[in-house]
Structure 1
Amino acid sequence: MKRRINYYQDLAANYSKPGLVSPELAEKLIFEAEKFISLKEDNFPAITPDYPLEQIEQENKAWWPTHCEALRQGRGDILTGEYRQDLVYFCQDGPYYGLEEQKEREQHWWALIAQPGVTMCWPIVMFHGEFVWFEWNCLDNATNETIAKGSVAWLRRGHRGGCYLKGEQLTFYRDVFAPNELLKLMTTAK
């Protein structure tokens, strides 16, 4: 039988289920998320001996918990900042090209999965160079029902490049468009 692994064993925080991240660590991760976004370069960085895939993978592993915390806190400004301007986003409502096409649709998804009383979790995350693949689910804190789930593949060129390609399969079990009161809870991009 194949050995099961803890996908978070070498990461700064474990987002596989609710209740594993202290408020102090969450605050630190938001600070780091803002720092990582500031490192993104205007010109897309090449993979070179000075910026090898091994370094990119380590940067993606450092980034991952900050991404999870930004989603849990509804920080749309951080989430948008993780993308390159020329993002390619494949999903069942897409494809979307650039940051403007997906903005209207994605804000509803973010508002639903970050709503009060719901905790988003990522039980599986894997890294390979600039490739990040993960599964997620959103749990209702009162009923324990899964309200949404999905699997996602990101191509992220580390801190210097950010996410340039995203492919996602999403399934929502209740609600598809967020009501205005949830949309207002999302921090908007600056």
Structure 2
Amino acid sequence: MTRQNYYKDLIADYSRPGLVNDELKAKLIQRSKEIGELQEAELPVIGPDYTLEQIEAENREFWPTHCEALRQGRGDLLTKEYRPDLVYHCQDGPYFGIKQQAEREKHWWAIIAQPGVTMTWPIVQFWGEFTHFEWICFDDITGEQIAKGSVCWVRRGHRGGCYYKSEQLTFTRDVFASEQLLKLINT
């Protein structure tokens, strides 16, 4: 198998630190806000008016906005990525609904978006409404691995949002964020 750049057809590359300039970061945050407002009350039906190809294209457009929102600790934008009836399977779960998930996930967001830590997503793959990705966070000073994970999202494009998430997370330094770090997450 040949090696590939998973970001070659995306607007921004989040496989390593330092690849996205400030102007593009601002555009991605703005687009994240816009996408968050497109989610419909009912999960849209896949069919001739909303095809898997369109959903995959929207998921590809969405992906860099998610990465930038997480790097900036924008919990307000990250929460809008999920449907209210989200099902989230992980080692602390399962969580049913966005309120159950939010209380736990805010600690993870605070740890991985803390100052002096950079999150990267070296692998991202798309197939229709499925997005598989692997992530890792490093301490910017020591190079120490802070956390890593492997995730599968089922996201029905901009109109549907993420309604299922399965994640394996490994936190190697902290498991719960301090109050100081939690205050840095915009909610």
- Structure 1 length normalisation: TM-score? 0.98
Alpha-carbon distance in structure 1 between the residues aligned to 2:24 and 2:166: 29
Alpha-carbon distance in structure 1 between the residues aligned to 2:4 and 2:71: 24
Number of residues of Structure 1 aligned to a counterpart in Structure 2: 187
Gaps of 5+ in 2: none
TM-superposed deviation, 1:8: 0.1
| Partner-residue secondary structure (3-state), 1:39 | coil
Residue 183 of structure 1: aligned partner: 182
Alpha-carbon distance in structure 2 between the residues aligned to 1:105 and 1:38: 24
TM-superposed deviation, 1:103: 1.4
Alpha-carbon distance in structure 2 between the residues aligned to 1:92 and 1:15: 26
Q: Partner letter of residue 120 of structure 2?
A: C
| Partner-residue secondary structure (3-state), 2:154 | strand
| Partner-residue secondary structure (3-state), 1:61 | helix
Alpha-carbon distance in structure 1 between the residues aligned to 2:103 and 2:148: 20
Q: Partner letter of residue 145 of structure 1?
A: E
Residue 32, structure 1, aligned to residue 31, structure 2: yes
Alpha-carbon distance in structure 1 between the residues aligned to 2:36 and 2:64: 14
Alpha-carbon distance in structure 2 between the residues aligned to 1:147 and 1:37: 29
Alpha-carbon distance in structure 1 between the residues aligned to 2:49 and 2:2: 35
Alpha-carbon distance in structure 2 between the residues aligned to 1:126 and 1:62: 13
Residue 143, structure 1, aligned to residue 142, structure 2: yes
Per-residue CA shift, 1:56-89, capped at 9, x if unaligned? 0000000000000000000000000000000000
Per-residue CA shift, 1:88-146, capped at 9, x if unaligned? 00000000000111111110000000000000000000000000000000010001111
| Partner-residue secondary structure (3-state), 1:102 | helix
Residue 120 of structure 1: aligned partner: 119
TM-superposed deviation, 1:14: 0.2
Alpha-carbon distance in structure 1 between the residues aligned to 2:20 and 2:81: 21
Residue 94 of structure 2: aligned partner: 95
Mapping for residues 62-101 of structure 1, pairs under 5 Å: 62-101=61-100
Residue 49, structure 1, aligned to residue 37, structure 2: no
Residue 168 of structure 2: aligned partner: 169
Gaps of 5+ in 1: none
Residue 4 of structure 2: aligned partner: 5
| Partner-residue secondary structure (3-state), 2:173 | coil
Alpha-carbon distance in structure 1 between the residues aligned to 2:82 and 2:103: 15
Identity of aligned residues (%): 67
- Structure 2 length normalisation: TM-score? 0.99
Alpha-carbon distance in structure 2 between the residues aligned to 1:60 and 1:104: 25
